[in-house]
């Protein structure tokens, strides 16, 4: 007997047939003797429609009203799934965020969860009742509905799993697990049976869009065992590592055989900016990045070369969508900073190798540089963290680089 939280995204509940399919999966867990809470998203397309209405009526709409409108999508799904489960003879009831209550702060449209009162849910789950929870939403201290922002249902599910002290949080999605890299680029990509939180976090934030970053952070902090699996394959057995069981995201201590590198990620969503001939004196970096932050431009990789003739070049990457804002911000501080020019290059890709094993293995970065050099791919920027090495290269080499690295780190499937 285990207590589990199951989460189903919008495509998994897109119509009545798929809701019935979800109910079958829930029934299976109940039949195994598990205590089950289910977190559901809105039927796919519904949230977009609701958002569109709000925006059409007022581009700068009140986020509190937006939340009241948009939260209805999940409310509908929760009621429909409860009805379907009951039709199958399973005791079930729906829970809205305010009924649990799942308390958040007042940051409407992107609220953060503050607490979940799980006692009543646990009491009912222990009697065999399935809790069907509307994802993505909560209630603010002023008694108004909040939403957690796009992808917030993953976060709802993980937070609920933590509050209910669940053994596992199963995230059903349209992929069947986490791969060593994008299988569309590398057909030999392997599905990982287990991956550490930290690795998942790096993979999630660099382009493998399987789980929302916030949900992984939360899972790591609360030590919630998360499983990513497909809602379109046959249902898995009761063994979390059995057939069709997807990928388990866990503490690295649970991973016995750590690989040096678990996966290769890439992102073509960034643009490179170089600010040329910046005076090399204290406070310059703060002036540039302070201004960018003020103007809501997210900066990722940053490289500053050593100084020559009292000036230096500052290179960094920003999201492509932020490029116009970054350009404007830099123009505003030109007189203050006194740089010579700004170069932009949107045709870049960031390639990252990720793995908790690299902490204890030297040479991981060097393998990367050699493999890229063998293919004559020029590295423009390098950035490293404890479990990740990222390089910026010309976008046209993305697939070539990912394939070469996948082979170089021995990740290719047999």
Task: Mark the segment that binds a second copy (CB under 8 A) among 86-94, 155-163, 308-316, 322-330.
Answer: 86-94
Q: Within 140-199, which residues bind a second copy (CB under 8 A)?
A: 143-145
Smallest gap, in angstroms, from Cβ of residue 321 to a second copy?
24
- DSSP secondary-structure letter at 378? P
The residue within the footprint of a second copy, chosen from 1, 56, 286, 414 (CB under 8 A), is 56
Q: Please report where in the chains the tokens 């600010």 appear, as a residue.
A: 275
Asked whether the beta carbons of 214 and 155 are under 8 A apart, the reply is yes
Tell me how many degrees the CA angle 318-136-119 measures, rounded to the nearest 5: 130
The residue within the footprint of a second copy, chosen from 2, 11, 14, 20 (CB under 8 A), is 20
Task: Mark the segment that binds a second copy (CB under 8 A) among 26-34, 55-63, 203-211, 247-255.
Answer: 55-63
Note the residue count of the chain.
414
Q: Tell whether residue 117 is a contact of a second copy (CB under 8 A).
A: no
Phi-psi region for residue 388, left (φ > 0), alpha (ψ -120 to 50) or beta? beta
Q: Tell whether residue 50 is a contact of a second copy (CB under 8 A).
A: yes
What is the CB neighbour count within 10 angstroms for residue 305? Answer: 11
The residue within the footprint of a second copy, chosen from 31, 45, 57, 281 (CB under 8 A), is 57
* SS3 annotation, 338-351: CCCEEEEECCEEEE
Residue 125 C-beta-side C-alpha neighbours within 13 Å = 27
The residue within the footprint of a second copy, chosen from 12, 27, 37, 98 (CB under 8 A), is 98
Smallest gap, in angstroms, from Cβ of residue 65 to a second copy?
4
Q: Tell whether residue 21 is a contact of a second copy (CB under 8 A).
A: no
CA distance 108 to 101: 16
Residue 78 or 260 having the CB closest to a second copy: 78
Of 214, 225, 220, nearest in space to 104 by CA: 214
Residues making contact with a second copy (CB under 8 A): 16, 19-20, 50, 53-54, 56-58, 61-62, 64-69, 71-72, 75-76, 78-80, 82-84, 86-87, 93-94, 96, 98-99, 143-145
């Amino acid at each position: 007997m285990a207590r589990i939280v199951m989460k189903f995204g919008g495509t998994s509940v897109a119509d009545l047939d798929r809701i019935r399919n979800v109910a079958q999966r829930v029934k299976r867990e109940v039949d195994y003797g598990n205590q089950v809470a289910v977190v559901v998203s809105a039927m796919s397309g519904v949230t977009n429609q609701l958002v569109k209405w709000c925006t059409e009526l007022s581009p700068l709409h009140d986020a509190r009203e937006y939340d009241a409108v948009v939260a209805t999508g999940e409310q509908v799904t929760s009621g429909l799934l409860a009805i379907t489960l009951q039709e199958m003879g399973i005791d079930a009831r729906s829970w809205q965020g305010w009924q649990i209550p799942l308390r958040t702060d007042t940051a409407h449209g992107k609220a953060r969860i503050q607490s979940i009162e799980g006692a009543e849910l646990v009491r009912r789950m222990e009697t065999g009742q399935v809790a069907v929870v509307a994802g993505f939403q909560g209630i603010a201290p002023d008694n108004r509905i909040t939403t957690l922002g796009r992808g917030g249902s993953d976060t709802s599910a993980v937070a609920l799993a933590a509050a209910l002290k669940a053994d596992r949080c199963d995230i059903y999605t349209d992929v069947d697990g986490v791969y060593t890299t994008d299988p569309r680029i590398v057909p030999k990509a392997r599905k990982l049976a287990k991956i550490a939180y930290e690795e998942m976090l790096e993979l999630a934030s660099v382009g493998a869009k399987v789980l929302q970053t916030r949900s992984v952070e939360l899972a790591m902090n609360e030590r919630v065992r998360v499983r990513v699996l497909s809602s379109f394959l046959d249902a898995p057995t009761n063994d979390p590592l059995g057939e069709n069981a997807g990928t388990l995201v866990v503490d690295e201590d649970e991973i016995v055989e750590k690989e040096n590198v678990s996966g290769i990620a890439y992102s073509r969503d960034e643009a490179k900016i170089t600010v040329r001939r910046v005076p090399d004196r204290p406070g310059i970096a703060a002036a540039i990045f302070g201004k960018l932050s003020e103007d809501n431009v997210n900066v990722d990789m940053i490289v500053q070369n050593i100084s020559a003739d009292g000036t230096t070049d500052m290179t960094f990457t920003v999201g492509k969508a932020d490029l116009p804002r970054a350009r404007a911000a830099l123009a505003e501080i030109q007189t203050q900073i006194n740089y010579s020019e700004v170069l932009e290059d949107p045709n870049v890709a960031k390639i990252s190798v990720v793995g908790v094993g690299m902490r204890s293995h030297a040479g991981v970065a060097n393998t990367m540089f050699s493999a890229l050099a063998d293919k004559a791919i020029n590295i423009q920027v390098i950035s490293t963290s404890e479990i990740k090495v990222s390089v910026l290269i010309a976008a046209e080499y993305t697939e070539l680089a990912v394939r070469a690295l996948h082979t170089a780190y021995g990740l290719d499937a047999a």
